[in-house]
Structure 1
């Protein structure tokens, strides 16, 4: 009887040791996930859905733990720094950041860059070198579409589809103190140069007043060029609810709502950035820096598409728009 109990006890010990060995083999190959904080303004907005889908897809492949910060408006560098410092306290390993408006944002982000890898998305950070031309800080790489090219494509679309000589045009940009707003507006103005049209106003979104309220205070125009997603959604939504004629609207927008207004013929031409590609490429780039301290992150230019109502149900466009869900 004693021998039977001893045999049973030895068997239990052996099984326990085998279990420990199996668990060691299973988990020994796993590396702890690197933690990357993602900070973009109004992170819950629909315009970021495609971007976040791309982030998550690449993060699963590269074993990255994403912390997508819940944000509202980020008005300046100080506000953005406060969000970043919260995540530094949480021991994150790197940052993917949309630069806040303001000329001092670059200096703040360079300071953070000395502590942790920082990658910009959506828009770069300008600086004024000695010759007075704006450039990107080399130590602050960005993954984003060609904002100048998007603006130029939109302006070229308007001039190719309409006779705009003598026509009145209004431009609605994003936040004034951002590089992306400047570049998109520059692209539009270069495309419309020499057409004989009149630029009646150029206004910008602000956090203290709805863009539709600002627009109602401006002079009447024949065409509106809207260079930011939320502004395009609000302006198209306003005209969709009104009876009667409204200006022809051409815009840049990265949401299903913008596509809906294109399908309803409220918007006549839409330039849509590939947010999924921007999210995916940004994780690939930041993971390179986390894997190898000597890795130098590079600027990556992501794609965009020019869409019209007749394009929406084409197979390749449907595949592109699927990432917006």
Structure 2
């Protein structure tokens, strides 16, 4: 009797263990099935200028049950480099891709044969309504920079126009030019990112082509403008630019930069994950265009509550 009782108890324990294991597997399997995978492709992904964007991505992924893959990239030299990476992600296990386009030529950058959702961030393409996008109103941003320069009593201006392969940069440049020309302010030179790199190797160029004010249309070129000012005593530009890196915030506080246009990149990261997850889970080809706010920040309002919220977003 005693042996039978022990055998029965052992059998019961085995049954309970099997049931417990099966229940655990079913729960975890449900959790895994609830998650989706999204890859993110941006230029020079490890650059600290993406910190706020990355924080938004991570919070959005946590809130929306997304396995996030921020693809490791260097500095793209052309659109084909990015195309290869985007195609690899779309052909792989990713359920969707978020991408900052190097070039606005969609047929070059976006593999059209993919049925997986693609969300564009930062800059657009001529047919951007065909894609879900999360980006700043580039025309408004350019106009705001030009307005700040006009208020600063600029006389002769140089423009660093960034990557002109991107539609967003072309829109920024057009609005800056239109506003400055309307105000009667002379534009002495306009340099794209590649032209700027060449001119920086000629230490005499900027001294020989003097301006009192420079407008820079993207983060990297604004950083390069700071370097030019710091490394050449003959250069004393008033600098207005777009960007939000730690380096730019430091030199804004020091007075080297007069004003920065700072997009809310935390929101851009968060909202791009939300829209990607929606498109994946609901199998929809409906596109949405979400606008990202930007803020004009000077030394005077750098430490205001609203500015701090954009520069240093709280992450749960």
Query: Does the 8 A contact of 2:160 with 2:196 survive in 1?
Result: no
1:267-286 matched pairs, under 5 angstroms: 267-286=257-276
The answer to whether the 8 Å contact 1:109/1:118 transfers is no
1:152 and 2:143 equivalent? yes
Once residues 205 and 234 of structure 2 are traced to their aligned partners in structure 1, the CA distance between those partners, rounded to angstroms, is 19
Comparing 12-21 with 208-217, which one deviates more in the overlay?
208-217
CA distance in 2 between partners of 1:232 and 1:204 (Å): 12
C-alpha deviation, 1:52, in angstroms: 1.0
After superposition, the Cα gap between the structure-2 partners of 1:181 and 1:217, relative to the gap in structure 1 and judged at 3 Å, is same
Matching residue of 1:132: none
Asked if the contact 2:90–2:114 (Cα under 8 Å) also holds between the matched residues in 1, the reply is: no
- Deviation, 1:27, is 2.7
SS at match of 1:96: strand
Query: How does 1:48-59 map onto structure 2 within 5 Å?
Result: 48-59=50-61
Give structure 1 stretches of 5+ with no counterpart: 127-135
1:37-75 CA-to-partner distances (Å, cap 9, x unmatched) read 111111111111111111111111111111111111223
Q: Distance in 1 between matches of 2:203 and 2:139?
A: 24
TM-score w.r.t. the length of structure 1 is: 0.88
- Give the alignment partner of residue 183 of structure 1, picking from 163, 167, 171: 171
Alpha-carbon contact 1:184-1:227 (below 8 Å) kept: yes
**For the Cα contact (< 8 Å) 1:212–1:235, is it kept in 2?**
no
What is the root-mean-square deviation of aligned Cα atoms in Å?
Answer: 2.4
> How far apart are 1:196 and its partner, in Å?
2.3
CA positional deviation for 1:113: 6.1
Of the structure 1 ranges 279-288 and 291-300, higher mean CA displacement relative to structure 2 is found in 291-300
Contact (CA 8 Å) 1:271, 1:305: kept in 2 or not?
Answer: yes
Matching of residues 1-325 of structure 1 within 5 Å: 1-24=2-25, 26-27=27-28, 29-30=30-31, 31-101=33-103, 105-109=105-109, 111-112=111-112, 114-126=114-126, 136-160=127-151, 162-164=152-154, 167-206=155-194, 209=197, 212-213=200-201, 216-218=204-206, 219-243=209-233, 246-323=236-313
Shift of 1:169: 0.7
Distance 2:199 2:257 in 1: 17
Quote the Cα distance in structure 1 between the aligned partners of 2:135 and 2:153.
32
Change (3 A) 1:260 1:211: farther
| Alpha-carbon shift at residue 33 of structure 1 (Å) | 2.0
- Offset, 1:144: 0.5
| Contact 2:82–2:109, Cα closer than 8 Å, also in 1 | no
Aligned residues: 311
Deviations 1:66-114 (A, max 9, x none): 1111111223332122112322343211111111226xx3113454364
Structure 1 Cα separation of the partners of residues 248 and 97 of structure 2 = 29
| C-alpha contact (below 8 Å) 2:242/2:262 kept by paired residues | yes
Tell me how far apart the structure 1 counterparts of residues 25 and 61 of structure 2 sit (CA, whole Å). Answer: 25
Task: After the TM superposition, list the runs of 4 or more consecutive aligned residues in structure 1 that deviate by more than 4 angstroms.
Answer: 241-245
8 A Cα contact 1:286 1:297, kept in partner: no
Alpha-carbon distance between aligned partners in 1 of 2:141 and 2:203, rounded to the nearest angstrom: 23
Q: Report if the CA contact (8 A) 1:77-1:100 is conserved.
A: yes
